[in-house]
Structure 1
Amino acid sequence: MKISVIIPTYNRKHTLQRAIDSVLAQTFKPYEIIIVDDGSKDGTKEWLLQNYPSVQCIHQPNNGVSSARNKGIQISQGSWIALLDSDDEWMPEKLEYQSKFIEVNRDSSFCHTNEIWIRNGVRVNQMKKHKKYGGDIFKYCLDICRISPSSSIIKKDVFEEVGTFDESLTVCEDYDLWLRVTAKFNILFLDEPLIKKYGGHLDQLSRVPEGIEQYRIRSLEKILSMGLLTETQFRLAKDMLIHKLNIYAKGLKKRDKYEELTSTEKKIQDWLIMPDLN
């Protein structure tokens, strides 16, 4: 099993060593490690050359995390892709346990794991709404992002069928891709905490001042227009879109954004009268 590890990074020299060392410490060695430096200005390029000369490093202008991941996927030579965010960390047995799990479930093309959450240096419990699932999980992926990129191993063929990360999205790019993946593929879930997911820091990508829900709305609108969904999936996605549009409309009204509120309310009405797939 040839696994290519993709680590995108931007101005995270202070956390990158932890991420890289956690890959090098794996009991199952990956085929290759590719770090895509997305235009860092903190000396990441020089630091990598000095400290990890044997690791493949690609440097590009700052185009965002989706562009960096896609670049790594594009140049990778392995048949499987393992993603790792540069502020996260793998447990030493992560790749070993997942590769063995995939070997037992040979028809699978995607595997993710449970995780340990660290917020501002303190371990915290996940909330019930973040519960992980395996199998046909499309309906569970409609409300929030259920899969951490750092926990996933993905067969490279999957990207050829559903596409890669949407580079127009500054956040929720993982939510967007997982909708497309789970609409087509069953998902393996290994209920072992095999990654440490760090949060609470100022450069966390999911921090957006304008709110995250509008990006999920964009992704739901997109997948509903792609012709990718079954009749049941279309109905579930449409219902979730209407639900999220209603929540978003309440926020607009509260903030006196009446012009955008009017267009959002029209969207809601349009989707309410739109027939389901036949």
Structure 2
Amino acid sequence: MLLFSLSLRASSWFSRRPCPPSLHSELRVPVSSLAGYIVSSDSVIPCATNCLVSSIAYSLPPSPDVSTNSFMPHPALSNPLPTISLVIPAYNRADLVAETIESALDQTWPFSEIIVVDDGSTDNTPTVLAQYANRITVIRTTNCGVQAARNTGIAATKTDLITLCDSDDLLEPTLSETLAAWLGAHPDIDCCFCNFTTFDQHGTYSDKFSQAPAGYFDRAIEQDDDFLTGIPDLYRRMLEFQPLFQSGLTFRKAFFNAIGGYDLRFKGIGAEDWEFTLRAAACGNIALCSRSLARVRRHPGNDSANAMHMNIGEAEILEFGLQNHPNAANYQMAILRTINERRIRVFDAAFGLGNFDLAKKTLTQITEAPSNIKFLLKCVITRLPSGLRKALWKLSQQSH
């Protein structure tokens, strides 16, 4: 059984939810053996093996007002708001991280602390971060990936409420005020995912929640001010459509610690954040904010290769979730069907890219293949000797 050093609040949370405490190896370890870990007063969260903190620059001095469960007066509101921290993982984002930080500093309810974890950047990211001396906290580590960087930053926070934002995304000015006020008034909610828009150099696009299939939010409990709770079978619904992203996600630190943080075994796979999102939905009392409070940046790239990478990762995460996430077995048929659909997509993408080794491997993992002639022809071509396969593959691509 895994052991934890949790705060009293975490113990209280844990007693009311039947969720495995962690997916990581044993966490109660002597301080002398904590190389690769960030230690806070109430948690020990794994960063990664040999992931060392090389420097911590506390540009924002610790304050007695920045503490767990503290509330501060808001000049425009009659009730005080809870303090809230922001964690930004960054790797080689010298061209974008300043814009992200500016959006964090431009909040109507200021974050009590803004922690940027520089995950071993090799570009000018440290120089850009240094321009915000006395306004942010910078933790520099060896390069261990975004999951470890988030764990590191979260462990270093001093507030109960924590918001995440990726280093290329932006926060709307009212995010911290909106989520701090609502979560402060709803202490039974463990975390809240917010709606967002996407943008690129050409403009801003429609919000994510509006793209959900008909009936996706049916039977949710509509709370005040655009918040939804009690969405039945949210885990299963995310198999069909996944609108819950990390930028803007706000949660209670005790909840994050209790479910084990980000699982570093998924470092680098496609959709690596999704495992945590599914686990949070399986373990916690989740709210959704339908108001767009974040802006997620689109990046140009090889769409086919990116989609293939994402589908490989999603299939792997769902296989893991079926075996390890609480109550996932209730959705076994839907999960297995989704895994099979992802593998069909991987096969199609691998075939289109001429990656026949991956295509052949994926074919052996597909449990129910489409019966259409187009798919069957791809299967035949994939299994042919290389010379004939290449010629027929080129002909098949010319027909597109």
- Whose radius of gyration is greater, 1 or 2? 2
Q: Distance in 2 between matches of 1:43 and 1:261?
A: 40
Correspondence for 1:62: 143
Of 141-150 and 179-188, the range deviating more from structure 2: 141-150
Is 1:190–2:271 an aligned residue pair? no
Contact 2:321 2:328 in 1 (8 A): no
The match for 1:140 is: 237
Residues 164 and 199 of structure 1, relative CA distance in 2, 3 Å threshold: same
| Aligned 1:122-271 pairs, distance under 5 A | 122-126=203-207, 129-130=211-212, 134=228, 135-136=230-231, 137-167=234-264, 168-170=266-268, 171-201=270-300, 208=306, 210-226=308-324, 228-229=326-327, 231-252=329-350, 255=354, 256-257=356-357, 259-265=360-366, 268=367
Residue 78, structure 1, aligned to residue 159, structure 2: yes
Select 1:111's aligned residue among 173, 185, 192.
192
Equivalent of 1:23 in 100, 104, 110: 104
Aligned-residue offset at 1:84: 0.7
| Gapped regions of structure 2 (runs ≥ 5) | 1-81, 218-227, 369-400
Hey, what's the Cα distance between the residues in 1 that align with 2:349 and 2:118? 36
Letter in 1 for 2:364: S
The one-letter code of the counterpart of 2:252 is: K
Q: Once the 2 structures are TM-superposed, how far is the Cα of residue 189 of structure 1 from its aligned partner?
A: 1.4
Q: CA deviation at 1:212?
A: 1.2
CA distance in 2 between counterparts of 1:207 and 1:182 reads: 29
Could you tell me whether the CA contact under 8 Å between 2:271 and 2:310 is conserved in 1? yes
Deviation of 1:129 (Å): 4.6
Structure having the higher helix fraction is 1
Give me the whole-angstrom Cα distance separating, in 1, the residues matched to 2:258 and 2:310. Answer: 27
> Following TM superposition, where does structure 1 have runs of at least 4 consecutive aligned residues deviating by more than 6 angstroms?
none
* TM-score of the two chains, using structure 1 as the length reference: 0.84
- Once the two structures are TM-superposed, the CA of residue 75 in structure 1 deviates from its matched residue by 1.8
Residue 331 of structure 2 aligns to a residue in which SS?
helix
Q: What does the per-residue CA deviation read over 1:81-114, in whole Å, with 9 as the maximum and x for residues that have no partner?
A: 2001111111111111112222333210111222
Q: 2: CA distance between counterparts of 1:95 and 1:192?
A: 13
| Number of residue pairs the alignment of both structures matches | 266
Letter in 1 for 2:339: L
Contiguous gaps of at least 5 residues in structure 1:
270-278
TM value normalised by structure 2: 0.60
Deviations, residues 221-278 of structure 1 (Å, cap 9, x unaligned): 111111522542344323322332343345456643354035313xx37xxxxxxxxx
Letter in 2 for 1:241: I
Aligned residue among 174, 179, 182 for 1:98: 179
What fraction of aligned residue pairs are identical, expressed as a percent? 24
Structure 1 distance, partners of 2:131, 2:185, is 40
What SS is found at the alignment partner of 1:57?
strand
* Residue 218 (structure 2) pairs with residue 120 (structure 1): no
Partners in 2 of 1:147 and 1:193 — Cα distance? 12
Distance 1:155 1:222, change over 3 A: same
Larger RCO (CA under 8 A, 6+ residues apart): 1
- Larger displacement relative to structure 2 (161-170 or 31-40): 161-170
Q: 1:157 corresponds to which letter in structure 2?
A: A
